[in-house]
Amino acid sequence: MERGKPAVKKRSAGELRLHKDISELNLRKTCKMSFPNGKDDLMNFEVTVSPDEGYYKGGKFTFMFVISPIYPHEAPKVKCKTKVYHPNIDLEGNVCLNILREDWKPVLNINTVIYGLYHLFTEPNHEDPLNSDAAAVLRDNPKLFESNVRKAMYGGYVGNTQFSRCV
């Protein structure tokens, strides 16, 4: 450290890449990013998805992103903080999105993940479920699925599970 100059914190390769990803973000107007720990902590942030079409239209769903120091060689860890009735998101907030698991490649970026999350709300997939009950209802009775989604989004019960209002 030179005299009179503050020490500069060395950024990991993951932080540098994430900074680039964030600076190049092209978010839909239905998605917002925030940094609950302040802009000094780029490696932990939230994204709120507010679908403007589909079953989940009008809802607000917040996801917590935790980025590894070896990003992009490791996919971001993403959890849904909003309890949601969804075939691809379980009640603990785990998200089933192939690019967060086996299909992750270092050429992908945060923008790709956010678009993938948005897509889960516009086209939920009953073929790769984390919530198999919701997936079965979507597959077998889309009208009941739509009714269950509405109930859940307005803070009601679906089965024995109560959801928090997110509209």
For the annotated catalytic residues, the residue numbers are 96
Determine contact, residues 149/155, Cβ cutoff 8 Å: no
Report residue 145 as tokens: 């699925």
Residue with tokens 């009953």: 126
Q: What torsion, rounded to 10 degrees, do the Cα atoms 120, 125, 131, 133 define?
A: 130
